[in-house]
Chain A
Amino acid sequence: MYRYDNYDHQMLADRIAQFRHQTERFLKGELAGPEFLPLRLQNGLYVQRLAPMLRIAIPYGMLSSRQLRKLAHIADYYDKGYGHFTTRQNIQFNWPALVDVPDILAHLAEVEMHAIQTSGNCIRNTTTDQFAGCAVNEIEDSRPYCEIIRQWSTFHPEFAYLPRKFKIAVCGTVDDQAATQVHDIGLFIVKSDTGEIGFRVLVGGGLGRTPVIGKEIRSFLPKQHLLTYLDAILRVYNREGRRDNKYKARIKILVKETGVELFREKVEQEWLALKDGPLTLTDAEFLRCKQYFQDPEYKELPEDSPQLLQALGENVLFAGWYNRNVSAHKKAGYAIVTICLKQTGTAPGDITSDQMNFVADLADSYSFGELRVSHEQNIILADVEKSALYALWQSLKSQKLNSDNRGLLTDIICCPGGDFCSLANAKSIPIAESIQRRFGDASRLRDIGALSLNISGCMNACGHHHVGNIGILGVDKKGAEFYQISLGGSVDNNTALGQIVGPSFAQEEVPGVVEKIVNVYMKNRQSGERFVETFNRVGIDPFKEEVYAKAD
């Protein structure tokens, strides 16, 4: 993992002192609310329905066990003993007191963490594939590039007051798990014919009110030009992005209104002035950042583990978990484990402080003391020896962290919704729970197979509803909470936006409607076909007919 040097530490200390001063002035009435607002947002602090909410950055999803223990400590001392992982690979605490926030930030700084730019109209936390560095067939580990982007974007003086928020994702794996195509900038690591590493650059993707898949503006950007090119894109956006209407202020609208060709020209024009300048990355900087993400000290192991094979043969429950939650690793004898935080009865992505401490211990015992957080709101132990999987699973069971539903219908991506968020039109957590209860039968769930179900409580789409195979969006219908359902979204290499099935449904209808949708799939599927494949083949009509059929 990246480790801070004196420069990083000093800047973080400066930032905390600055925010402490700003908070004091606000509390003394010397700084007006509207002027404090972007300052606190750029330090991760929202004022929510019930209390302030602090969103802490987990840069590109990487956490050490020490950091997770610190988060547990914060949850216990400043919050109500739990936290919530978000779709931006961050963690949110829902109950801190405003006056305590500078102290919380000081605690975070001790473990090289912060809440910088986790909100506000600035460049947000850069995200990536949670399997980066250990995925099979990876083109290159994306994390050094993410760290380079993290540093460039942190306290960027020119881009702190953009028209709207700005999100960047980097993907270096063959199977994109980072929703890269629906980001303001999506960077795919590519290798040229001559073996040179660079980026395919997408721009103008995003979810929210107007979902758009990003458009390519450069098929190959040599890696040393990464930051000058990002500077150029951001400058065009900062100058020309709309500021008259908050709902039209994202870069996707600018790209759409300008046209991708003209937008590209403007970026290239701006880039001419920056290209090959001091911001051009150096081999020394690539090396410096890469050294933090070298392979841990893997053992030389055979690909198969006799202990694992034996346990799989003897324990059906373990085998069920293994089949869903364990993924292939680039190193022989190792596996990637996803701890699914989607237990029915717990809000998706929520984790208690006890569980945090427990998982931190597991990371130390089984995975070189490191963890990752995925945009699906799960935790990953990325480097587990296959022979240890059975023992790990038994440990997980003791803390009810052995949910074996990864990638299934109940592995729901879900925003905090109307229970916490002041932007929400409707609740989302109870909807998730009602669907999880409806699909409580494990064998049926497995029979249904891979299916993503994403819920957002409002148009802002924090729950990524547009790209769920089944997407559920909370809407306000004359003061009542209703839910609009879309189908066919996906966020893998074939990213697609869901199609709205029709008029929205009342809360109590939603589980029944999901069941009808699933039944249409089960009836129509051909052998081996996933939900989204059947949907793509048969189209939306059979689903429409079923969910709006009049009862006889």
Chain B
Amino acid sequence: MPKLIKKCQIIDDQWVLIKENSQLEDLQAYSGQDLIVPLVFWLAERTRIQQRSGKTAVWLNSNEVPQSLGSDLHNLEVIALNFPIFSDGRAYSSARELRSNLGYKGEIRAIGDVLRDQLFYMSRCGFDAFLMRDDQNLERALSAFNDFTEGYQASVDKPIPLFRRR
């Protein structure tokens, strides 16, 4: 089973990621499995996707905003945010919006070009699960969460900025 970093631990990943431009019939191959489907697919076929057995989550590309999920948001156990390339920083804002503005409490999973050296900032923005790029060493990546002991800003992990604590 593929591996995932969640809450700073390496665990088995039960979720299957469904590609963009997928159709309903493509899902038949995953009978009973938990799926993360692309936003556009979800918005178009939500009812029928949910009729199948197995849980459903949604992933957003970096140009898609969490507000598109509307009231579905709080029923989703997992929302995945894609990094088409690690240097595309839009999902950091999406994660913060999900947590701070929209009050989302479920798992926010980083997918795509997810690398060791970005994990710390991602976790500060509210990501708590990381599906790392295939070539990344998960054991070694864990140390990234301890790169810094403090941060100045108000962030999801520390909502009270340092200036109110020092």
**Interface 1/0s, chain B 120-151, versus A by CB < 8 A?**
11101100000000000000000000011111
Is the Cβ of B92 less than 8 Å from the Cβ of A238?
yes
A490 CB within 8 Å of chain B: no
Identify the stretch in A71-79, A273-281, A351-359 within 8 Å (CB) of chain B at 4 or more residues.
Answer: A273-281
Is the Cβ of B89 less than 8 Å from the Cβ of A281?
no
Complex Cα distance, B161 from A273, in Å, reads: 16
Also in contact, A155 and B89, with CB within 8 A (given A273-B101, A288-B163): no
Instruction: List, in ascending order, chain B residues with CB within 8 A of A288's CB.
Output: 163
Tally of contact residues, A, Cβ under 8 A: 39
Tally of contact residues, B, Cβ under 8 A: 37
Is the Cβ of A121 less than 8 Å from the Cβ of B155?
no
B93 CB within 8 Å of chain A: yes
| Cβ of B145 to closest chain A Cβ, rounded Å | 12
| Cβ of A154 to closest chain B Cβ, rounded Å | 6
Is the Cβ of A160 less than 8 Å from the Cβ of B89?
yes
Complex Cα distance, B161 from A282, in Å, reads: 11
Complex Cα distance, B164 from A151, in Å, reads: 13
| Cβ of A301 to closest chain B Cβ, rounded Å | 37
Instruction: List, in ascending order, chain B residues with CB within 8 A of A154's CB.
Output: 152
Instruction: List, in ascending order, chain A residues with CB within 8 A of B100's CB.
Output: 273
B43 CB within 8 Å of chain A: no
Instruction: List, in ascending order, chain B residues with CB within 8 A of A35's CB.
Output: 86, 115, 117
Which of A22, A155, A282 lies in contact with B163, CB distance below 8 A? A282
Is the Cβ of A157 less than 8 Å from the Cβ of B121?
yes
Complex Cα distance, B115 from A22, in Å, reads: 12
Also in contact, A158 and B159, with CB within 8 A (given A11-B150, A35-B117): no
Is the Cβ of A278 less than 8 Å from the Cβ of B164?
yes
Q: B87-127: which residues lie under 8 A (CB-CB) from chain A?
A: 87-90, 92-94, 96-97, 100-101, 115, 117-118, 120-122, 124-125
Is the Cβ of A281 less than 8 Å from the Cβ of B152?
no
A49 CB within 8 Å of chain B: no
Also in contact, A7 and B162, with CB within 8 A (given A151-B152, A157-B153): yes
Is the Cβ of A161 less than 8 Å from the Cβ of B147?
no
Complex Cα distance, B155 from A160, in Å, reads: 14
Closest residue of A by beta carbon distance from B94: A239
Instruction: List, in ascending order, chain B residues with CB within 8 A of A157's CB.
Output: 92, 120-122, 124-125, 151, 153, 155
Closest residue of B by beta carbon distance from A238: B93
Is the Cβ of A158 less than 8 Å from the Cβ of B125?
yes
Is the Cβ of B154 less than 8 Å from the Cβ of A277?
yes
B160 CB within 8 Å of chain A: yes
Is the Cβ of A282 less than 8 Å from the Cβ of B164?
yes
Instruction: List, in ascending order, chain B residues with CB within 8 A of A39's CB.
Output: 117
Instruction: List, in ascending order, chain A residues with CB within 8 A of B69's CB.
Output: none
Closest residue of A by beta carbon distance from B115: A35
Which of B90, B150, B155, B160 lies in contact with A238, CB distance below 8 A? B90
B48 CB within 8 Å of chain A: no
Is the Cβ of A278 less than 8 Å from the Cβ of B160?
yes
Known: A11-B150, A152-B161, A162-B89. 5 other contacts (CB 8 A): A14-B147, A35-B86, A155-B151, A157-B151, A160-B89
Ranked nearest first, the 5 interchain pairs of A and B with the lowest CB-CB distance are: A161-B89, A157-B124, A157-B121, A279-B154, A285-B163
- Listed in ascending order, the chain B residues whose CB lies under 8 Å from chain A are 65, 86-90, 92-94, 96-97, 100-101, 115, 117-118, 120-122, 124-125, 147-155, 159-164, 166
- Listed in ascending order, the chain A residues whose CB lies under 8 Å from chain B are 5, 7, 10-11, 14-15, 17-18, 22, 31, 35, 38-39, 121, 148, 151-152, 154-162, 227, 235, 238-239, 243, 273, 277-279, 281-282, 285, 288
CB pairs A–B below 8 angstroms (21 shown)? A7-B166, A11-B148, A11-B151, A14-B148, A18-B148, A31-B117, A38-B87, A39-B117, A148-B163, A157-B92, A157-B120, A157-B155, A158-B96, A158-B121, A159-B89, A161-B118, A238-B90, A238-B93, A239-B93, A243-B88, A273-B101
